[in-house]
Amino acid sequence: MSVRVRFAPSPTGFVHIGSLRTALYNYLFAKNMGGKYILRVEDTDRTRLVDGAIENMLTAMKWAGIEHDEGVTLNENGEIVQKGEYGPYVQSERLDIYQKYIQQLLDSGKAYYCFCTKERLDEVREAQKEAGLTPRYDGHCRDLSKEEVEEKLKAGVPYVIRLKLPENHVIKFTDLVRGETEFNTNDLDDQVLIKTDGFPTYHFAVVVDDYLMKITHVIRGEEWVSSTPKHVYLYEAFGWEAPVFVHLPNILNQEKKKLSKRQGDVAVEDFKKKGYLPEGLVNYVALVGWSPEENQELFTMKELEEAFSLERVSKSGGVFDTEKLNWIDAHYIKDADDEMLTQLAIPFLIDGGFITESDVETRHDFIKGMVSALKEKLSYVQEITDHVGMFFGDTVEVETEEGREFLELEHIPTLLDALIEKIGELDRVDAESGQVVLKSIQKEYKIKGKNLYMGSRIMITGQMHGPDLPKVMEVLGKETCLKRLDYVKNNLIK
Ligand code: GLU
């Protein structure tokens, strides 16, 4: 049996980081098992649809590098298309299929028409609540006669179709993460399968589609555990073999509650907008709720595909740890291509007022130089605006008391004059010649270590720490370095 799994989002808005992880685990499991990964759009709740949500979700998946083999996808022109033999992969395009299968259940007495009005259902629910009972459908239409049903249908009375659960029937299923799970139908409701608008409910459509699309493993969020017995019973009612179920624990916030939009960044979009790299986010998210056999933390997608297994998915929710995400993303930024990072950094630099649109072309090398010098300091690209200030202006501001005290050390005037002289002699300052300048000062004046490097850094950038100094000198260029050193000589040194 070859593995087939699916990610089945409802296009209701942004892509939650938990959905990204569900998609990722499905993808990784399929890759690991040599199976197929399918993306199906579940849009049967017509009241919750959001324009552009499918495109947004597909773009996020593509950005993350989680590519599916079958299903709904975007073509080169950004239009929604479908690929694969088991389509359509959009539930609203499968209404005739659901019609056929609901008829089977009606014919076999496993489903029934329910004509109860909303008012009646509300009354029943209220009465149950008052009596301290769990609200559920009271079975009013379960045993209507064939004639009664025909009559109401003919008269055009609105209806839903419900699942007829047998009484006191035990439904069992094994969840790969949570183990054996058991429910009694006495605790379950006669679930609506077809709604008044003729659309199937999620519960009905998901079972029909997973069966017809030959899904072998249903890997989804734990919020669906309580629905699973209804699904399992539907498989039973149809006489179909149920897939293996795997419910993934929630991603939690620091307070151990479900990560929600109110607490800040939860959408893939939010992380993308801050300039996290997809490799970093995917690597981190893989580790929230799954632990590799070896004590390894950095994984490329290929490595994840090889290492992933459902057995090592944890039962309890994983806490979203921004610090760890940052640590992992910083690793990918350090290794990333300078030009690619530059393109990501430009909008932040423009927004921050550091550069203008026209600088993008005319000062490209300067911008790329800053990015290249600063990338070792970044957890995500937006952070560049916290550091980039040192590359602008011809004056130097020493912000810390410690820095100002450093400039009072005895060797500073000698170092300053030597820097002015040696940089002045160069045609052009680059990382190499900058390094040569520092080395020759060390040799000639016996100023070394912290005295040399920190002293020079403070006089050139105003800061005590920062990226590689010769690199910074290259980005600033000869003229700016000299202007700054003159400024220090005239204003900061006694
Ligand atoms: N459409 C459901 C959702 O958006 C999918 C649940 C499932 O995977 O069965 O979460």
pLDDT tens digits, one per residue of 180-194:
989 999 989 999 999
283, HSE (Cβ side, Cα atoms, 13 Å): 23
Q: Indicate which residues carry an active-site annotation.
A: 261
Ligand 1 in contact with 220 (CB < 6 A)? Answer: yes
Residue listed under structure tokens 């000869």: 478
In b/e form, how buried is each residue of 144-181, taking b as 16+ CB within 10 angstroms? Answer: beeeebeebeeeeeebbbbbbbeeeeebebebebeeeb
CA-to-CA dists, residue 325 to 297, 335, 379, angstroms: 11, 16, 8
Pick the atom of ligand 1 nearest to 223's CA: 10
In order along its 494 residues, the chain shows pLDDT tens digits of 799 999 999 998 889 999 999 999 999 999 999 999 999 999 998 888 889 999 999 999 999 999 999 999 999 999 999 999 999 999 999 999 999 999 999 999 999 999 999 999 999 999 999 999 989 999 999 999 999 999 999 999 999 999 999 999 999 999 999 999 899 999 899 999 999 999 999 999 999 999 999 999 999 999 999 999 999 999 999 999 999 999 999 999 888 888 877 777 899 999 999 999 999 999 999 999 999 998 899 999 999 999 999 999 998 888 999 999 999 999 999 999 999 999 999 999 999 999 999 999 999 999 999 999 999 999 999 999 999 999 999 999 998 999 999 999 999 999 999 999 999 999 999 999 999 999 999 999 999 999 999 999 999 999 999 999 999 999 999 999 999 999 999 999 87
Pick the atom of ligand 1 nearest to 6's CA: 8
276 Cα: distance to centroid of ligand 1 (angstroms):
26
Ligand 1 in contact with 227 (CB < 6 A)? Answer: no
**Atom 5 (ligand 1) nearest CA:** 8
User: What is residue 347's predicted lDDT score, i.e. its pLDDT?
Assistant: 98
Ligand 1 in contact with 206 (CB < 6 A)? Answer: yes
Distance from C-alpha of 396 to C-alpha of 154, rounded to nearest angstrom: 87
Token pair, residue 189, equals 């409701």
**7 close to 22: Cβ distance less than 8 angstroms:** yes
User: What is residue 424's predicted lDDT score, i.e. its pLDDT?
Assistant: 97
**286 close to 26: Cβ distance less than 8 angstroms:** no
Ligand 1 in contact with 36 (CB < 6 A)? Answer: no
Pick the atom of ligand 1 nearest to 19's CA: 10
User: What is residue 494's predicted lDDT score, i.e. its pLDDT?
Assistant: 76
CA-to-CA dists, residue 337 to 355, 359, 375, angstroms: 21, 21, 10
8 Cα: distance to centroid of ligand 1 (angstroms):
5
58 Cα: distance to centroid of ligand 1 (angstroms):
15
Under DSSP, is residue 1 helix (H, G, I), strand (E, B) or coil? coil
User: What is residue 1's predicted lDDT score, i.e. its pLDDT?
Assistant: 75
54 Cα: distance to centroid of ligand 1 (angstroms):
14
CA-to-CA dists, residue 172 to 185, 233, 244, 325, 386, angstroms: 11, 9, 12, 38, 56
Pick the atom of ligand 1 nearest to 42's CA: 1
Distance from C-alpha of 102 to C-alpha of 217, rounded to nearest angstrom: 23
pLDDT tens digits, one per residue of 422-431:
999 999 999 9
CA-to-CA dists, residue 429 to 371, 395, 432, 441, angstroms: 18, 18, 8, 15
For residue 68, which phi and psi values (nearest 5 degrees)?
A: -100, 160
DSSP string, 260-310: -GGGS--BHHHHHHTT--HHHHHHHHHHSSB--SSS-----HHHHHHH--G
Ligand 1 in contact with 8 (CB < 6 A)? Answer: yes
Pick the atom of ligand 1 nearest to 7's CA: 8
Say how many residues make up the chain.
494
CB count within 10 Å of CB 290 equals 22
Q: What is the DSSP letter of 198?
A: S
220 Cα: distance to centroid of ligand 1 (angstroms):
7
**111 close to 193: Cβ distance less than 8 angstroms:** yes
**Atom 10 (ligand 1) nearest CA:** 9
Ligand 1 in contact with 11 (CB < 6 A)? Answer: no
**Atom 3 (ligand 1) nearest CA:** 9
300 Cα: distance to centroid of ligand 1 (angstroms):
27
> Largest Cα–Cα distance in the chain?
108
Give, for ligand 1, the residue of 45, 202, 258 to mutate: max count of ligand atoms closer than 8 Å to Cβ. Answer: 202
CA-to-CA dists, residue 466 to 29, 400, 418, angstroms: 43, 14, 22
CB count within 10 Å of CB 92 equals 15
Beta strands in 9-125 (DSSP E): 36-39, 70-74, 80-83, 111-114
Distance from C-alpha of 288 to C-alpha of 320, rounded to nearest angstrom: 7
CA 14 to chain CA centroid, Å, is 10
